[in-house]
A and B are shown apart, each in its own frame.
Chain A
Amino acid sequence: MDKKEETVIFPKNPNKTYGLMELTKTKSFQIEKGPDNTVTSWPHLLFRELILFMGVFIALMIISMVFNAPLEEQANPSNTPNPAKAPWYFLGLQEMLAWAHPFWGGIFVPTVVTIILILTPYFDTSQKGVGVWFAPERRIANLLFTIFIVLAVGLIVVGEFFRGPNWQIFWPWNMPSPH
């Protein structure tokens, strides 16, 4: 590295004096290298990945030892539970079925949401605030997305905890048994 290049990469602070202080032995390549903000994947990244895997596995194992997966009576086409519910992640859609012709809640909304999600990055092109949680420059985008999440989760909560026989609204603590 010649002198000119060096001053570009390590700009000198005029308030300090510089001199050779010490020579050190090191096992990494320092030639032609400016200051950077990287670390080697081993051990810094891979070790964290391993710990996280153990954490996930142990947590799931504990849950699986404490709670059993549900298994009801054998399927019986002539015995309709009231209400019959979809799995929780589709309850938002099932909830919307109650409002209008099922096509709107069941097909139209999810299709439109998917298309909007995929296209979002092509419309929201500003580079401001990338890499920062809840960046103030992205207030509107974050607000819109938060509304979307609250609606999606809210509908699921209503469908799961507040809907009883004939898809009527009940308080969770007043919920009649489903059969």
Chain B
Amino acid sequence: MKMNRLWELLTNNRFYKSIFRHGYPDDEIKRSEVVTGNLFLHIQPVKVHKNTIRTGYTLGLGLISFYLFIILTVTGVLLMFYYIPSIERAYNDMKDLEFAVSFGIIFRNLHRWGAHGMVAFVFLHMCRVFFTGGYKSPREFNWGIGVILLILTLFLSLTGYLLPWDQLAFWAITIVANLIGTTPPEKIMGASLRQVVLGGTIVGQNALIRFYVMHVVVLPLVAAALIGVHFWRIRKDGGISRPAEE
């Protein structure tokens, strides 16, 4: 076949092999090397159960959540080049992204819609896991990690919501801050929690920088680490859940 000769040419050379360390994966040994010989892929097993690749089982929801996280990280870094977390500048930076920066509006849209999408897909993924009984032993702990990931996702979205410093942002965060302020005993616990979150009594510069640091450093790092644990546990728990075999 012609196709095969093309692959041969592309893959059976020193350059290709210097990168991938094996030839074109046309037998099982080389196919296993695709996974074991690659830093990024080897968290996955060389072989997986057929149920794992059944589209109708996972619906790919966990993977979609992960992909959105990756896209958000990349577009988020690009937005950071233009955004300054100061109440004098933040709103104008958003306007610049919209009208002055090349493709700025696209990156902002990708980031915004990706964030909404991630909340939705993480939630749907949780529903999938529940309705297939995927949280049962030995996967109890990974379900717990998942619940924490859902909360982290919500907080990532929330902290990002303030950053454009428009009316929508300001009042949404004011509501959430007031909500935190109702933790009992209100005068002691609630008031001090609110103070810690906002760095003051109102949503102002201190709140903006706190939300910014949480949004771009703390929460993404914690989420990335926990996603790593989540994936590692999937493997240690014997792969994706599946029906018992007779």
The 7 closest A-B pairs by CB, nearest first: A27-B27, A64-B109, A75-B170, A69-B112, A121-B140, A84-B171, A131-B243
A68 touching B105, Cβ below 8 Å: yes
Contact-size category for A: 35 or more
User: Residue-by-residue, is A40-65 near B (CB-CB < 8 Å gives 1, otherwise 0)?
Assistant: 11111110110011001100110111
Contact-size category for B: 35 or more
B83 on interface, CB distance cutoff 8 Å: no
User: Residue-by-residue, is A113-125 near B (CB-CB < 8 Å gives 1, otherwise 0)?
Assistant: 0100110111011
Q: Which residues of A contact B27 (CB under 8 A)?
A: 27-28
Q: Which residues of B contact A107 (CB under 8 A)?
A: 179-180, 182-184
A56 touching B176, Cβ below 8 Å: no
Provide 27 A-B residue pairs closer than 8 Å at the C-beta atoms, listed in order of the A residue: A37-B51, A39-B47, A39-B53, A40-B46, A42-B35, A43-B25, A52-B67, A56-B68, A60-B68, A60-B110, A64-B106, A65-B109, A67-B113, A71-B95, A71-B166, A72-B166, A73-B166, A74-B165, A75-B165, A77-B202, A86-B176, A118-B147, A121-B136, A121-B140, A127-B136, A134-B131, A141-B130
Q: A45-B48, A45-B52, A118-B144 are in contact. Are A60 and B131 (CB under 8 A)?
A: no
Nearest residue (CB) in A for B151 is A114
B158 on interface, CB distance cutoff 8 Å: yes
Please tell me which stretch of A2-10, A11-19, A97-105, A169-177 contacts chain B, meaning at least 4 of its Cβ atoms lie within 8 angstroms of it: A97-105
